[in-house]
Amino acid sequence: MLGELVILGATGDLTARFLLPALAALRAGGHLGDGFRVTCVGREDWTGDAFHAWAAEQLDRHAPDIPPDRRREVVAASRYHRADVTDAHALAPVIPHDRPVAAYLALPPSIFAATVSALHAAGTANGSTVVLEKPFGESLDDAIELNRLLSRLYPERSIFRVDHFLAMGTVLNLLGVRLANRVLEPLWSSAHIERVDIVWDESLALEGRAGYYDGVGALKDMLQNHLLQLLCLVAMEPPISLGDRDLRDRKMDVLRSIRPLTLHDAAERSRRARYTAGGGVPAYVDEPGVDPMHRTETFAELRLEIDNWRWRDTTFRLRTGKAMRTNRQEVAVHFRPVPHLPFAGDVQAVPNVLRFGLEPESVSLHLTGTTTSGDVLTPLTLAATPAPAHLPPYGRLLLDVLNRDPALSIRADEAEQSWRVVTPVLEAWAKDLVPLSEYPAFSGEV
């Protein structure tokens, strides 16, 4: 297990909300020993004491359930350095040269290439790993070039293109329900499944993240990575094992089987929109730090089809939006209606739906039964709440990084193929073949 984590971009939102709490959870769970160290690199002109005070404040805010002693231990294990992460000379005194480390790029994708080059030139020891957040690059061409650069500097097994959705408890439970229950396998195909909705609607608005979000938008922020990864887990063939090669080979099969979109297809099968003022928040274009000329979308939807024997004629709908009326974060598997109802009168059965709630975590199966008289159809719901995960998603992700287990990271070919899926959509939007609609914040009407 690697004994040191280097966070590049350590004073940002990702570190505050996720990485520091994940480290505290790992410490509380006994996964990190007393010798574990965290080297934090940022551009803020802070002293070590100032960083410790900031880190303690973030842990109090974002990890209140972790015992205070464990939070304090994470703060005490950290040291702060101000440095330009794209400058090898600035990084050289910061990066250990005598022992392998995990270097986490908690940075905008626009500086990934420069930072990786500087990191390697600064002299990372053999056995070190490099961790890159999503989105992996800013376009297909960018992802290809970034992969070429990484392959020249580090072996593939040392590169972690992370997606914390893959470490979420219900996402992992999706695999369990699919692969450990014989009752579902005969039904898991287009013969019985009409469509799959993969949705991440949130009631949060921009929340001060214009510096990142306005250069990315909903499609690149959520759909191109998180939601496509969920599609892969739903649609892939059962792997031989959950080892990194078997699991990622099957995900890659799905990505390669997605029917390529023409510009016309992209225009017909996608939607985009951004929120206007409502519910006490300003219109997106009036949020601090937003450039209206970017025409950034806060809602994106895409309908895809998979050309293989299992999924021919099943539609996969991927959807994400900000400032929506309610939080709806789920994978919903919609089964086809029964071919015949033997009940008298004008009765209809609601088609069955298997729902995997992502936040909060849940699993439910929606069926149709009858009343006690036997002549009136009525909905039935079987529901379960999975036991809470021992670690938050970023805790599981960091544990895999430190143990150098790449099974839940994204392989180079996966990253590129995901961009190939959405590139026609980006091109259609750039040509204004799809109108940028508007919806009032928190209205739920898109």
Q: Count CA atoms closer than 13 A to 33's CA, side-chain side.
A: 6
CA distance 124 to 130: 10
Structure-block tokens of residue 436:
């940028």
Residue identified by tokens 């650069």 is 149
Q: Would you call 226 a catalytic residue per the annotation?
A: yes
**3-state SS assignment for residue 404:** coil
Catalytic residue among 226, 264, 294, 340, which? 226
Q: How far apart are the first and last CA of the chain?
A: 47
Contact 205, 327 (CB under 8 A): no
CA distance 287 to 398: 33
Between the alpha carbon of residue 58 and those of residues 62, 72, 107, 308, 389, the distances in Å are: 6, 12, 18, 47, 22
CA distance 303 to 106: 31
β-strand partners of 378? 369
Q: Amino acid identity, residue 134? A: K
Structure-block tokens of residue 234:
């739903």
Residue identified by tokens 């809602």 is 299
Contact 102, 5 (CB under 8 A): yes
Q: Spell out the residues 6+ positions from residue 243 whose beta carbon is closer than 8 angstroms to its own.
A: 407
CA distance 176 to 169: 10
Structure-block tokens of residue 400:
């895999």
Contact 27, 74 (CB under 8 A): yes
**What are the φ and ψ backbone dihedral angles of 355, each rounded to 5 degrees?**
-115, 130
Long-range Cβ contact pairs of 171-178 (< 8 A, separation 24 or more) = 171/230, 171/233, 171/356, 171/358, 173/356, 173/361, 173/363, 173/386, 174/230, 174/233, 174/234, 174/331, 174/356, 175/233, 175/242, 177/356, 177/363, 178/233, 178/234, 178/238
Structure-block tokens of residue 161:
């293109």
Structure-block tokens of residue 125:
């020891």
Active site residue ranges: 226
